[in-house]
Structure 1
Amino acid sequence: MSDFPGWHGTTIIGVRKGGQVVIAGDGQVSAGQTVMKATARKVRRLSPGGHEVVTGFAGSTADAFTLLERLEKKLEATPGQLQRACVELAKDWRTDKYLQKLEAMLIVSDGTDLYVVTGAGDVVEPEHDVAAIGSGGNFALAAARALIDGDLSAEEVARRAMAIAADICVYTNGNLTVEAIGR
């Protein structure tokens, strides 16, 4: 977030396990060393054309909402084809002069597929069934990778990983929004 160096992100994690995908995000919005809000909702459920998708975002909220609106339109144009919709969004994001300025990242799932979508044109399906973004993303990712092979459910892995990230990253709190989706 180059224009606002004092602003820091959030932590969003996606965990795929046992036929279910869980996306969880914390609720903290920070400006520098100040917590602006502790209960923001950065995980959303979209239902374009009756096909449910769960998304989580890190970065600028207004930018993320713009991207979510665009993603929803792409999903309406390609019902049931999450990968295609994400690739089309990433192409537009990378090539459109207006969208290029948007500073956010997305984790997106339809319950089967799990992707990280970025403004660099990336649509990445993570290895090890875990994806994480935001300022505490690396902490949550490491924790989830350590927990994924145990007996915990996808939701339990996501919640524990987010708790660890919240303990380490000052820009992440324990006020979680958790959405599960399965196929």
Structure 2
Amino acid sequence: MNAARILIVPGWRNAEPEHWQSLWADRLPNAHRVEQGDWLFPRRQDWVGRLADEILASRGERVVLVAHSLGCMATVHLPPEAAARVSAALLVAPADPERRAQLADFAPVPHQRLPYRSILVASSNDPYCPVRLAGAYARAWGSEFLRLENAGHINVASGLGEWPQGLQLLAQLGVDIDPAELLRRAA
């Protein structure tokens, strides 16, 4: 497995310090959080542009995206030149911008196959995106689909902490990490 630059792509309102994305950003080698200019009033052009800039700045490195919620939508809206630089993506609890007025700028959701390997993780009781819709996204994007039972929005409220299962999924995407070792160091 080659070293990869891991870009953490938070969703609407950013990820709290206790969110698994924040914990991973602090602990994973080569991880970098993509910061947005406005977390409360997201504009697709700004969010996608910022993410594309981060990807294109990763010259010579494999790029793996770890996106949550609206971060998944920014990911699937990437322009072709940025998407071509991505080697894999872990897409967790995608948003439903067609149902939430605050996220409407990210609609319509693209339904084209992604040009890289991806795993989409959704919960049976996510209040922000029905699991059936998440499954439809996975089929359209060519993503492997993992359904978690009763994990809410797969965030702090879900009580996942470091989210060991997510680290294992990241390793399955070819990121050279040892989830057990990372969790031991975090304890």
TM-score by length of 1: 0.36
Q: Which has the higher contact order (CA 8 A, sep 6+)?
A: 1
TM-score by length of 2: 0.35
